[in-house]
Structure 1
């Protein structure tokens, strides 16, 4: 694949990421922007609070499918893990910072789940396992899920040894974007733990 082809594919992946399922569900349901109601997040949990379980499932599935589709297509090109992770980063960035929505998007957890599953299902299973265990500790999905996401670069480094430094650095960048999107949640958990 040429550098122009790779760049075009990443740009398309960014655009795909910017198609937020929750935003469009709200628009189609009653014309409301989910970023202005409830928690202000156009993700699955807020969609579920506002519109019910079906909206939660459709939003989660739609956003996860974006990550899975982008990474799955990248892997089918046999361009290696660097390209797959670069595409993964692009679709996550598109979801969190969508150009068509004034760069105010979601927090990226659903699209991360879909992308991670298609990138390496063994890494995905390990993260889900850790998050599940920590869910029993924290009694809350967000901190447990973020800890699972935080393991992504470590697990990628372990499972893709010999692939060079770019692979774990891209994995770290993806994790950093998810962490930045959840900075308010992280601050809240930190404050609660210290009080």
Structure 2
């Protein structure tokens, strides 16, 4: 019964559409009607500003972390905490509070990794920000971090770097999270191919996207 309750709680926690609610309550704006129409961190930054973007990012990140740590707090050892983190990510992308729409899972997935392997998250953040500086695109940086996660989870244990041993279940969850992130960015990949992706106001823009 405890496991079932935690599953429901983690889904509902992940499903909280922070960006949507912040926009509606404090700015009288529905993020679905602006920018990319997404309710995640990136569109929140673009439409609602830096303060709202930071607040939504932290909430989306920490709800992934909390979902991963909840089974530890309640001494549930029969199911990996990563399962509950993954459920929160699913809730984030398919929110019952937003007609089963949601964000692109980057921040919440990062929160899951933060709750289980903080050093691995630091590695992914380095990759993310390097790509962000080189290409000026949050979407491409997110995809690069997802690919880097796949590479790292299989390669690092062989050289005992960050991940000292192979953990097949952690590898499986990382594969699932990376796949979700990449699939959620397919429309971004199409825009990148057409040199029409949105840019951040810094970096080298090496792919020569057209600035809007």
TM bin, normalised by shorter chain, reads 0.7 to 0.9
Q: For 1:154 and 1:85, how far apart are their aligned partners in 2?
A: 19
What is the CA distance between 1:162 and its match in structure 2?
4.5
What is the CA distance between 1:174 and its match in structure 2?
1.4
Q: For 2:119 and 2:55, how far apart are their aligned partners in 1?
A: 25
Q: Unpaired runs of 5+ in structure 2? A: 158-162, 196-206
Question: Would you say 1:45 and 2:42 are equivalent positions?
Answer: yes
Count residues in correspondence. 189
Question: Would you say 1:170 and 2:181 are equivalent positions?
Answer: no
Please give the TM-score of this superposition, normalised by the length of structure 2.
0.78
Q: Which residue, out of 77, 80, 91, partners 1:79?
A: 77
Q: Which residue, out of 89, 103, 128, partners 1:92?
A: 89
Q: Which residue, out of 58, 62, 66, partners 1:65?
A: 62
Question: Deviation string for 1:57-114 (max 9, x for gaps)?
Answer: 111111112111111223444738x612211211111001112311111112221222
After superposition, the CA RMSD in angstroms is: 2.4
Q: For 2:111 and 2:42, how far apart are their aligned partners in 1?
A: 16
Q: How does 1:97-108 map to 2 (within 5 A)?
A: 97-108=94-105
Bigger Cα displacement from structure 2, 178-187 vs 145-154: 145-154
Q: For 1:147 and 1:176, how far apart are their aligned partners in 2?
A: 12
Q: Which residue, out of 126, 136, 139, partners 2:136?
A: 139
Q: For 2:81 and 2:116, how far apart are their aligned partners in 1?
A: 7
Q: For 1:92 and 1:134, how far apart are their aligned partners in 2?
A: 23
Which protein has greater RCO, CA pairs closer than 8 Å, 6+ apart?
Answer: 1
Q: For 2:76 and 2:150, how far apart are their aligned partners in 1?
A: 21
Runs of 4+ in 1 over 4 A off after TM superposition: none
Q: Unpaired runs of 5+ in structure 1? A: none
Q: Which residue, out of 160, 165, 171, partners 1:161?
A: 165
Please give the TM-score of this superposition, normalised by the length of structure 1.
0.84
Q: For 1:124 and 1:171, how far apart are their aligned partners in 2?
A: 11
Matched position secondary structure for 2:103: coil
